[in-house]
Amino acid sequence: MDAIPLALDGYLAAEAEPGDREGTVSWRLTCSAGTDHLVEEAVIPCTTIEPEIAHAMLTERQPGDLLRVTGHLTFPNTADGVIRLHAEGLEVLWEAPVLDADDEAGDTATATGADAERNTAIAALAEALTGFAQDGPGPGQSIRLHISPTGALGTGLEHCHGFDVTPAIAHRLADYIDTMSCFMDSEHPGSVVLDPETVADLTDLFEDIDLTDLTNTVLNATRPEHRPAVTQAMDDMFGDIPAPEDTDP
């Protein structure tokens, strides 16, 4: 069977090792189909004879790195053989941070609790993003999102996820994030802080407003068929106000 050109994004499952033949290097790539279901994940054996890729895999890359491997996928000649991706190109999409020895020697119980909370949050986010990815199937999925724990992964690759979304879905997601970050002008971190005297003057000004008189004035100037909507709008702004029937005709 002819080799199939292929590009795969996945996490380096373990440290690369010299291959069976001289000048080759082998490693395993954990790939996800785009959801948080483990049955849709696969570990693909990779190998290369390219000197630059071999050197990078043996000396620079570490478990947990997110890689894009391009090459040709070959199938075995026998039923008990193994498929293998022969790498001809390598791109590092994300580097897993290296943990210091002092960090690893910290409070294990605290780290375990923090890891559990983090993994729960990742699972919730992955479920939400999976819904986004499923909202826009079909052609045009040109944006890939990745989420994973920080730190040197090694094990725990089940908490790494990748999602393909359309540009339209990406815009929707950006809008939702912008909405979460919105502030009222008075609450914005960069807003001007009024001095206490000005605040006191504004408080006195608004306390002197008679809402009943204001309501009557507005509703008397409003056509009868529009009064319920205006009453509701004023009620939303000021709280309980007199109903239209309580005002002068």
Which positions ≥6 away from 28 have C-beta within 8 Å?
Answer: 12, 13, 14, 43, 44, 45, 46
How do strand 41-48 and strand 84-94 relate by DSSP bridges? Answer: parallel
Q: For the whole prediction, is pTM greater than 0.85? A: no
Q: What is the mean pLDDT of each run of 10 residues along the chain (249 residues)?
A: 85 89 90 53 89 92 91 85 91 77 49 74 80 57 74 60 78 79 55 70 76 80 83 72 51
- Using the CB atoms, write b or e for 208-219: b if 16+ within 10 Å: eeeeeeebbebb
Neighbours of 34 (CB within 10 A): 19
What was the pLDDT predicted at 157? 66
Please give the domain boundaries of the chain with CATH numbers for all domains.
4-94 (2.40.50.140), 196-246 (no CATH)
**Contact predicate 157/65, CB 8 Å:** no
Residues 73-125: tens digit of each pLDDT: 998 888 777 889 999 999 998 888 765 545 544 444 555 667 778 888 888 88
